[in-house]
Chain A
Amino acid sequence: MARAVTTKRKSINTALAWAVGLLIFFPILWTVLTSFKTEAQAIADPPIFLGFDWTFENYSTVMERSNYMRFLWNSVIIAGGSTILGVIIAVPAAWSMAFVPSKRTKDILMWMLSTKMLPAVGVLYPIYLLFIRLGWLDSRVGLVIVLMLINLPIIVWMLYTYFKEIPGEILEAARMDGASLKEEILYVLTPMAVPGIASTLLLNVILAWNEAFWTLNLTAAKAAPLTAFIASYSSPEGLFYAKLSAASTMAIAPILILGWFSQKQLVRGLTFGAVK
């Protein structure tokens, strides 16, 4: 807002906003700090905030003990694979809806959105059964496909709203100059669509990375991603706060960083263009 404000008012705003921001962020900060403590320091009474001996021991313990790398790799494959596959399927669909709209385009978009509303638990058993029949239970292939399908509506919608913003005249001009459909897509559309596609990839990697219904219910040991790895800590044995913190920090750090880059796209992607 372009209003002149007094320095005093600005200081009060700043103090208040920072206090609230830090309070909301605190659980994450505390987890990260605890991950560098020893188990004894992690449960010290009174709690130690900063004055502890920083150690990386928990990270190496977690990595050794639980095949952390395999869970991480599963998360990368499942989140990355489902997103890339989804974008490959969604780009042509969103392209045609944005540039060659028909009377039914709106209905198709709305219908796609409605598939996103299907509660997972309502189709849990059928999917479970299909997975057994197809031999997909506890396999990365199965999860890549399921997560691709649950995020496909969001991917199509995001791409559609981005493509909509590309002026159609440019495409017409290219067509006049004799560009074929393939050339049109490759040389005219793609360069302009790259930022939108990148944002879509980003948001959907985040959503897939954090998905915790299908990943918990359709995996056991082989294909389990980080969501399941963390859930396995839910029955504690002995001292474990520092290790839990280290495992948690590793599971959320990559996505936290990606997420900070995708704030704007988050709004667009999750409200289906209803809030801009």
Chain B
Amino acid sequence: MATQHSRSAARIMMAPAVILLLGWMLVPLMMTLYFSFKKYLPLRGGDLGWVGFENYARFVSSSSFWPAVSATLMIVVGVLLITSILGVLLAILLDQPMWGQGIVRILVIAPFFVMPTVSALVWKNMFMDPVNGLLAHLWKFFGADPVAWLTEVPMGSIIMIVSWQWLPFATLILLTAIQSLDSEQLEASEMDGAPVLARFWYIVLPHLSRALTVVILIQTIFLLSIFAEIFVTTQGAFGTKTLSYLIFQRVLESQNVGLGSAGGVYAIILANIVALFLMRIVGKNLDT
């Protein structure tokens, strides 16, 4: 059993990690809060005094706020739908007996390891370019007019790129969950003559529900703050300016730190709401 001695040693060993994370969390957070109540323009006069909640009100009432909210929601919901539906199907497929399962798994998982700037640039130029992109060639081959993907269907294109990056993640986690499914239960239901769809609906899907929830929550947290994909492809043009990209522009491009910080506080609150649900699931698992 743990002695008094080992308890205090444990505390000392935990200290560096705890102190560092505490600092990493509190210092920038306090600064963001502080700036959010100020009129602060580093390039045009600097600190121009306290303004109360004006930044918060201005951020929400600016003409780019609601479009940014809807762009963010579209990307998050679109990618979640695509990756979780295809992820479930793909996980079931990969769980079937086949030849070369290991290699197929490697092929499917690969996009997750591609750095975001590379995948965005490769898709933008080599696939979605209206003149030289591979999709343009494919369209022409079937007699259709090539599409300027990133200007004509910018949102769809970005959802497509991001889904390609995150589908492997969803698949891998769902596959891990499916492999822990009791095969005897499935066999029994198969012998009882349950049709494939019923087996999927009443046995597989309930078994996957927790993994699916985890996939959705973790992806939501990452998707709320995607940056590189937009930075490299549209720079926020054509209605693809997400909330986090808008904040980035306010803070670094137009150097309106007060306004951007108020936006940052909104983003933090939003992420925390999602995080709360995720933490509940993870916490439950910690007890068992």
Contact = CB atoms under 8 A, between A and B. Distances in A.
Q: Do A and B bind each other?
A: yes
Interface of A: 1-3, 5, 9-10, 13-14, 16-18, 20-22, 24-25, 27-28, 30-31, 34, 43, 45-47, 89-90, 92-93, 95-97, 99-100, 102, 106, 108-115, 117-130, 149, 152-153, 156, 181, 206, 209-210, 212-213, 216-217, 226-228, 230-231, 233-234, 236, 241, 244-245, 248, 251-252, 255-256, 258-260, 263, 266-267, 270-276
Given A30-B126, A272-B282, A118 B29 contact: yes
Given A17-B93, A30-B126, A108-B14, A124 B20 contact: no
B177 interface: yes
Contact of A121 (B122, B233, B264): B264
29 contacts: A1-B95, A10-B96, A14-B100, A24-B107, A24-B108, A28-B111, A30-B126, A31-B118, A46-B137, A111-B21, A114-B279, A117-B272, A118-B271, A119-B268, A121-B248, A130-B28, A152-B24, A216-B117, A227-B228, A241-B132, A251-B118, A256-B110, A256-B114, A258-B113, A263-B105, A270-B169, A274-B285, A275-B173, A275-B176
A110 to B, nearest CB: 6
A100 B164 contact: no
A152 B93 contact: no
Contacts of B287: 106
Interface stretch (B2-10, B53-61, B151-159, B197-205): B2-10
Given A1-B183, A17-B101, A124-B248, 15 more contacts: A1-B95, A9-B97, A24-B110, A24-B167, A25-B108, A93-B16, A93-B17, A96-B14, A121-B247, A122-B265, A127-B28, A213-B228, A255-B115, A275-B176, A275-B211
A27 B122 contact: yes
Given A118-B29, A213-B227, A149 B286 contact: no
A110 B279 contact: yes
Interface residues of B, number: 108
Interface in B209-254: 210-211, 214, 218, 221, 224-225, 227-228, 231-233, 244, 247-248, 251-252
A275 B115 CA distance: 24
B282 A110 contact: yes
A95 B221 contact: no
Nearest to B141: A46
A236 B125 contact: yes
Given A100-B10, A127-B28, A45 B137 contact: yes
B124 to A, nearest CB: 8
**Which of A1, A27, A153, A275 has the most CB atoms of chain B within a 10 A radius of its CB?**
A275
Contacts of B187: 3
Nearest to B134: A47
A119 to B, nearest CB: 5
Given A121-B267, A127-B28, A13 B96 contact: yes
Contacts of A5: 96-97
**Which of B122, B137, B267, B272 has the most CB atoms of chain A within a 10 A radius of its CB?**
B122
Contact of B35 (A25, A121, A125, A181): A125
Listed from nearest, the 6 A-B pairs whose CB atoms lie closest are: A96-B10, A92-B13, A123-B28, A259-B113, A126-B31, A122-B264
Nearest to A230: B117
Interface string B17-57: 11011001101110110010000000000000000000000
Contact of B252 (A1, A113, A118, A128): A128
A27 B111 contact: yes
A45 B6 CA distance: 71
Interface string B61-86: 00000000000000000000000000
Chain A interface mostly helix, strand, loop or mixed?
A: helix
B18 A108 contact: yes
A237 B107 CA distance: 32
A197 B285 CA distance: 22
A124 B103 CA distance: 40
Contacts of B124: 234
B130 interface: no
A95 B13 contact: yes
B275 interface: yes
B172 A266 contact: yes
B286 A125 contact: no
Contacts of A241: 125-126, 132
B227 to A, nearest CB: 5
Given A24-B110, A122-B264, A100 B6 contact: yes
Contact of B115 (A9, A100, A230): A230
B175 to A, nearest CB: 9
Given A10-B99, A28-B114, A212-B117, A21 B279 contact: no
A40 B32 CA distance: 50
B55 to A, nearest CB: 12
B158 to A, nearest CB: 14
Interface in B273-288: 274-275, 278-279, 281-283, 285-287
Nearest to A255: B113
B149 interface: no
Contacts of B272: 114, 117
